[in-house]
Amino acid sequence: MTDLPEELSTQLPSDPALATAVLEIEAHAATVGWDQQERLYALVDTARLVASEPALAASMGLDDQAQDGSFTAIEQEELPPGQHLERVLEQIVWPPTVTGCAAVVERLVLPPEVDDDIPDDPEAAAAFASQHPLRQEVRIVAGVTRAGATYSALRLRAHDDELSVVDGTELVPGLLQLLLSTFDDTSLDEEHP
């Protein structure tokens, strides 16, 4: 058996159920269109949801035939007005019944060749990006599991079709790390010995 090149192996999902959930959320976000609020989803084990909440599962069209190991995405309440997802994620700790989480955000991205020109101040950087002629609008769906698996999907507004969606495990490391931190209970353990 031949080993895969490193750049390819880092893009293959370590958790296919997570990859499927992220791509399903991305497809759903695409049907709603652009210029949407940031969204946060809890990912729960589908079989567990069917067993513990049969009425809810039935209303969602899920049944006992749900595949083992698949996730059901449950959209969370809208973010508080004026708060960015990054700040909200710093305050979240999921209950044990949540196996993973995913976020949908829209951002402006710039090509790597302008990185040195971006101001350090966050507000100045945002203004710089919004005015730059090479800016691109991108929708990012990033997901993680409690076990540490990661997966993301990106869609550029300029190439708004299914075939142009880019997906992989390490596309947005900063956002993925923030999502993973919502499963870090060490601060809770310290508060409640």
pLDDT, tens digit, for every residue of 133-183? 888 899 999 999 999 999 999 999 999 888 889 999 989 999 999 999 999
Q: Which one-letter amino acid corresponds to residue 123? A: E
Burial 79-111 (b: 16+ CB within 10 A, else e): eeeeeebeebbeebebeeebbbbbbbbbbbebe
Supply the pLDDT for residue 130.
84
Position with higher pLDDT, 55 vs 182: 182
Position with higher pLDDT, 7 vs 183: 183
d(CA 141, CA 155): 9
d(CA 193, CA 191): 6
Highest mean pLDDT: which of 63-72, 80-89, 132-141? 132-141
Which pTM was predicted? 0.81
Instruction: Write out the two tokens for 79.
Output: 């973010």
Supply the pLDDT for residue 139.
96
| Number of domains forming the structure of the chain | 1
For residue 41, give its domain range: 6-191
- Please report whether residue 1 resides in a domain: no
- Please report whether residue 69 resides in a domain: yes
CA angle 53/55/57 to nearest 5° reads 65
Residue 71 has pLDDT above 60, yes or no: yes
- Please report whether residue 95 resides in a domain: yes
Residue 48 has pLDDT above 90, yes or no: no
- Please report whether residue 62 resides in a domain: yes
List pLDDT tens digits, range 111-128: 788 888 888 887 888 888
Q: Which helix (H) or strand (E) holds 139?
A: strand 136-145
- Please report whether residue 56 resides in a domain: yes
The stretch 88-106 carries a mean pLDDT of 93
- Please report whether residue 135 resides in a domain: yes
d(CA 140, CA 105): 5
